[in-house]
Chains A and B, each alone.
Chain A
């Protein structure tokens, strides 16, 4: 089986600090309708549906089953859910299409971080024996990684501030972004990270449609073909890892074929400035590569959707003819614990 699979449509919400006037399905539905409208498909035309979300974010048990109302899941459809970023839902959908079981797939993810204390909520994903009882919050763990990079001579605080400034300046062209333009770098949140080194906390959703072969060409003028897709994970002990490097990203990129030819664009899921430094090193990206023209996760980081958005943004650049070969990366867990890399290409112009 050697089917070509492409991203043929992408939509996202405006990402905002709070969406308290909307339930999760109410927040999600407009992007579902938007990707369907881009392709002319109806929900009944979709062969497989896969979503990514986490009930811990909003504290709502089985919220993903309520979100399914938005895709017209009754009578029962072929669907699945991962308690992970939507990039991993896309991975499952991609494998489903590779098997030939379906020709089209709808992938969506959403996260409402506003109802809960996100920094504390994310401690619940940590090792429950040795780490979670200490409640080390997400910023603290990212700060340990940043200090390790500074100690190693890989970066310094001004360089990190420059990553933040570049990301938010680029985000001025992205109407969906939450933090755009000139944003003060602020005080230390957990030193060495300042507020400007950290992603905004907010609510948002995204959706992507995948299609196979000729179906993709029917649905999209310039499909973003997925040339490779792989994900890898590090040892779970933070003190076992070298926090200044990301061998799992490098291996995923190698398996996805990222190093076979240069890419022109990379959408990196680096919620904290220092993580972009780690990823650039792991992926051997040189200055010729446009990194995060969308502004990246420093401009909008709806947890559980921000990784899928990287794939969507990379694909949308190809759809628009602004990119020919792009790398998209998604991460999950503390300090770049688990990493997914996709390589996307457009047909020659």
Chain B
């Protein structure tokens, strides 16, 4: 078995998300160092606030301001913070019920160690210095000793219009995930042979079709392909298109031709660029061969062989 190919793969997705009126008021409020909740029909105050009652699904819009202090309802000590988490030193994850709220908010608590954290402890918001209207405008919570001031638990939320200058109407939720990509057995074997300038497909044991590139299974029979079959190197253009728009990060002059090519012996066509011939002279049936550049793991493009064109009947099933 050839060695397993692996490569780093980074996936990044900056989702742009619009906000409903309640979310907009809450996140804008955080920017202004105000924590808002929303009242439900049965008089509970939800923090963080949502657009619809989680029990009745009723639309809820009645905003109130709650205190930036609260009580830990449960916690978990994170001794090894991970990338993008709120603090890069060990911290406690906490659910905090802010004074005046009936539900709890998830965030981080900056504490010296797990012995300094317990359910029921009093905490207060530590605001981020730079705030943009995001949950991370709360940098974290910190322990808060209010025994001298009397318990804040009785604080009543006060009505709030939810109106601020320059409200936030959307967020950009950036995310990055780092993977290690491995293409599996069939594709590793294909890529390995290709690096040696050979096109090796795989044959279905039942219908005998040769797949190039192989993906490990015959989609008609649902069986594993395993018998390796060298095909090409020459092939026939079965169909093509003329590309007129230059692709980003691609150093190829337009117009150029991108074609389906049935390699000799293959049961389906693969696709590649056609070069070495003016774009307006490429035609169905044109016989082509791969052009390799030095040290390349795959053909740069295909060019005409100079043979007579193939008969339509020889490739009509491979369009």
Residues of A whose CB lies within 8 Å of any CB of B are 20-26, 29, 32, 43, 56, 58-60, 66, 68-75, 114-117, 119-121, 124, 128-137, 140-141, 143-148, 151, 188, 190-193, 235-240, 243
Taking residues whose C-beta sits less than 8 angstroms from the other chain, chain B's interface range is: 35 or more
- Contact bitstring B99-128, A, C-beta under 8 A = 1, else 0: 000011111100000100001000000000
9 additional contacts (CB under 8 A) given A21-B185, A134-B135: A59-B179, A74-B220, A136-B85, A137-B85, A140-B93, A190-B78, A237-B46, A238-B95, A239-B105
Contact partner, B50, options A22, A124, A237, Cβ 8 Å: A237
A120 near B76: Cβ-Cβ < 8 Å: no
Say if the beta carbon of B221 comes within 8 Å of chain A: yes
Q: Which residue of A lies closest to B107 (CB)?
A: A134
B55: chain A residues within 8 A (beta carbon)? 235
Enumerate chain B residues within 8 angstroms of A235, measured Cβ to Cβ. 54-55
Residues of B within 8 A of A60 (CB): 181
| Contact A237 B48, beta carbon cutoff 8 Å | yes
Contact B46 A70 (CB under 8 A): no
From B23, B103, B222, A32 is in contact (CB under 8 Å) with B222
Structural contact, B222 and A23, CB atoms closer than 8 A: no
Q: How far is the CA of A109 from the CA of B216 in the complex (A)?
A: 18
B217: chain A residues at CB < 8 Å are 25-26, 29, 69-70
Bound together, the chains give a CA A75 to CA B222 distance in angstroms of 11
Contact A148 B106 (CB under 8 A): no
- Closest Cβ neighbor of B95 among chain A residues: A239
Closest to B96 in A: A239
Asked if A69 and B219 make an inter-chain contact with CB atoms under 8 angstroms apart, the answer reads yes
**A143 contacts B93, CB within 8 Å?**
yes
Are B82 and A72 closer than 8 Å at their CB atoms? no
Expressed in whole angstroms, the Cα–Cα distance for A23 and B214 within the complex equals 11
Inter-chain contacts of B48 with A (CB < 8 A): 130, 237, 239
Chain B, residues 177-204, CB within 8 Å of chain A (1/0): the string is 1111111111110000000000000000
Identify which of residues 222-242 in chain B touch chain A, using a CB-to-CB cut-off of 8 Å.
222-224
Instruction: Report whether B93 and A136 are in contact in the complex, using a CB–CB cutoff of 8 Å.
Output: yes
22 pairs across A/B with beta carbons < 8 Å? A21-B4, A22-B185, A23-B184, A23-B185, A43-B222, A59-B177, A59-B181, A68-B219, A69-B222, A72-B222, A121-B177, A130-B105, A132-B175, A135-B83, A146-B76, A147-B76, A148-B73, A191-B114, A239-B48, A239-B106, A240-B54, A243-B74
CB distance from A270 to the nearest CB of B (A): 17
Q: Hey, which chain B residues are within 8 Å of A121, CB to CB?
A: 177
Q: Which of B46, B178, B183 contacts A117 (CB 8 A)?
A: B178
Contact across chains for A129 and B135 when beta carbons are under 8 A apart: yes
Report Cα–Cα, A158/B17, bound state, in Å: 44
Q: Are A134 and B222 within 8 A (Cβ)?
A: no
